[in-house]
Amino acid sequence: MKKMAFILFCFLLMRVSAFAASAEDTRGREEDKRKSLAPTEVQQYPATPAHEPESDKENYAFLSELYNKKVSSIADACRAISIVLGREEQFVQDNLLPPSIKKKFNYQEPLRKGQAAYMLCKALDMEGGLWLRLLGLNQRYALRELVYEGIMFPGNVQDFMSGKELISTLTQAADYLTRSHDK
């Protein structure tokens, strides 16, 4: 009985190894599939480019100054979002700011993580998770959603944002926008 089981096991092992494909064979089949699909794939164009500013040098200078700031302001965030995400600055100030900031109209106060998260969630048109949908867009759940998506680093809603962190966040937001546009 043991001999019969051993022979059956060897027979099955030989059949499995006969059908096994090497990595090169698998890669070759995948490349052939890609080549056959290439003409049928719909070409996706990038999102419409933002309105070209009068001077790109001014924008680059602003972003490099912002990168070196220890604490960024709300006005810096509005301008940086308008540059990086391709929104008009007036649109950002009118539509993306939390109601608490609109009431004060003090754009020179330091930017907090919750305020930046709120602005980015609105700029990216994020629907969010369960709590964001149930309770509506607020700074706390906007920050949690952006942390979940990998756009922002975790922290408290009241933490100040440095320029370096704001630029990093906007870079991740632009990547997220590109990924969501590709889907």
Per-residue pLDDT of the chain (183 residues; tens, 9 = 90+): 777 777 777 666 565 444 555 666 677 777 777 666 655 545 544 444 444 545 778 888 888 899 999 999 888 888 888 888 877 766 666 677 766 666 555 678 899 999 999 989 888 888 877 877 788 888 888 899 999 999 999 999 999 999 999 999 999 998 988 887 665
Q: Where are the domains of the chain?
A: 57-182
Q: What pLDDT sits at residue 48?
A: 46
Q: What is the DSSP string of the chain?
A: -HHHHHHHHHHHHHHHHHH---HHHHHHHHHHHHHHHGGGSPPPPPPPPPPPPS-HHHHHHHHHHHHT-SS-BHHHHHHHHHHHS---HHHHHHHSS-HHHHHH--TTSBPBHHHHHHHHHHHTT----HHHHHH-S-HHHHHHHHHHHTSS----TT-B--HHHHHHHHHHHHHHHHHHHH-
pTM of the model: 0.64
Look at residue 45 in the predicted model and tell me its pLDDT.
Answer: 45
